[in-house]
Amino acid sequence: MIAMLLDDILSLLGHRVAASAAALPDALAAAHQDEFDCAILDLNLKGESSIPVAEALDERGIPFGFASGYDAPDRPERFRHVPTLLKPFAADDVERLLERINAVS
């Protein structure tokens, strides 16, 4: 449900959603193969960490941000600077996250 909400918000903000993945294998495949400008990763994909996806995006030089319902202190040091969208969120929160992602890249 949250992914669908995020997709809707991104569309309303004028962005095209290139891929949406609810499970780690699908997210990893998209991170390695798909073409897109930036990504928003939920830190928890059906109970699995999205850090491997973040690593793949980082290796490709694709900027990204995290989405989370809680602060994740167990994030690797190399990703502590990555902007995070805290749930619950609204459209203006998503817009600010995208601005921060683009500022970091």
Nearest one of 64, 78, 67, 29 to 45, comparing CA atoms: 67
The 10 Å Cβ neighbour count of residue 8 is 12
Distances in whole angstroms, Cα of residue 58 to Cα of each of 55, 61, 81, 86: 5, 5, 13, 21
Q: What is the pLDDT of residues 77-105, one digit of tens each?
A: 999 999 999 989 999 999 999 999 988 76
pLDDT tens string 30-57: 999 999 999 999 998 989 999 999 999 9
